[in-house]
Structure 1
């Protein structure tokens, strides 16, 4: 247990100097940037959030299906929507 200092006593402040910035490690920088390669490039693909109200039972079925396919729910639903609403549909062309 520490002894308490009286309220009026002044404790010398500890100062910790901030040293020079460490040199950049090119391997570490490459490793950090490597994680960005698998992600969607925001410049290439714009995204928009879509909110749907569904029943808890449907949500559970979607989650089970995504799990058994080894994908995320978002990826499963994106694929489903892409198949149902392709960018160029035959009916849309004259």
Structure 2
């Protein structure tokens, strides 16, 4: 259904169709799916999102620390958590 323009409109009533989808190019599809080399490496490791509430002051201190180290906040927090909770931790046994 094409809507007619108001009588005083200067635009003609014209309906433009969208053309057919171009045929798929297997080489282009493979290139798109390949993505960035870094993205593939990041996908090798399973990750899970962790959300926690902190004060704005704590968030600011973390951000400043990350900035001065030249890394992201996520990198700083991952390193901190890895130090505190290493994969192979010795248990303190009496």
Band of TM-score, shorter chain: 0.5 to 0.7
CA distance 1:61–1:85, change in 2 (3 Å): same
Are residue 79 (structure 1) and residue 79 (structure 2) matched? yes
- How many residues align structurally? 84
Matches within 5 A, 1:34-53: 34-35=35-36, 36-41=39-44, 44-53=45-54
Give the whole-Å Cα distance in 2 for the aligned partners of 1:70 and 1:53: 22
Q: CA deviation at 1:62?
A: 0.8
Matches within 5 A, 1:7-46: 12-24=13-25, 26=27, 29-30=30-31, 33-35=34-36, 36-41=39-44, 44-46=45-47
CA distance 1:77–1:92, change in 2 (3 Å): same
Q: Secondary structure at the match of 2:43?
A: coil
Give the whole-Å Cα distance in 1 for the aligned partners of 2:14 and 2:63: 55
Q: CA deviation at 1:12?
A: 4.9
Q: RMSD over aligned Cα, in angstroms?
A: 3.1
Q: CA deviation at 1:13?
A: 4.6
Q: CA deviation at 1:86?
A: 0.8
Q: CA deviation at 1:14?
A: 1.2
In structure 2, the partner of 1:70 is 70
CA distance 1:24–1:66, change in 2 (3 Å): same
